[in-house]
C-alpha cells in the first residue's frame, strides 16, 4: 500500500468523503489554488469542488480566500 493510499484511508477514517480527500490532498500538494485548479489536479468534477471545499472549510481544514 502506497503512502497516498494510506493517507487517503486515514482521511476517510476521519470522516472525509472521496471528493473531500482528493481536494484536500491536491491543496496539500499545490498550496493556494482556484476551484478549477483543484478540479483538474484532484480529478474530481468541477460541480463537486465547491461542496468539498465548503465541507472542508466548515471542519476548519481549509481557508477560503
Is pTM beyond 0.75 here? yes
Whole-angstrom distance, CA of residue 33 vs CA of residue 8? 20
pLDDT, tens digit, 9 for 90 and up, residues 5-56:
788 889 999 999 999 999 999 999 999 999 999 999 999 999 999 999 999 9
Whole-angstrom distance, CA of residue 35 vs CA of residue 47? 10
Own/partner contacts of 38-42, CB < 8 Å, gap of 24 or more, are: none
Amino acid at each position: 500500500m502506497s503512502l497516498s493510499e494510506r493517507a487517503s484511508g486515514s482521511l476517510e477514517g476521519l470522516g472525509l468523503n472521496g471528493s473531500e480527500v482528493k481536494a484536500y490532498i491536491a491543496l496539500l500538494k499545490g498550496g493556494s489554488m482556484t476551484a478549477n485548479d483543484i478540479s483538474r489536479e484532484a480529478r474530481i468534477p468541477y460541480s463537486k469542488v465547491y461542496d468539498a471545499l465548503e465541507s472542508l472549510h466548515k471542519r476548519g481544514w481549509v481557508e477560503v480566500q
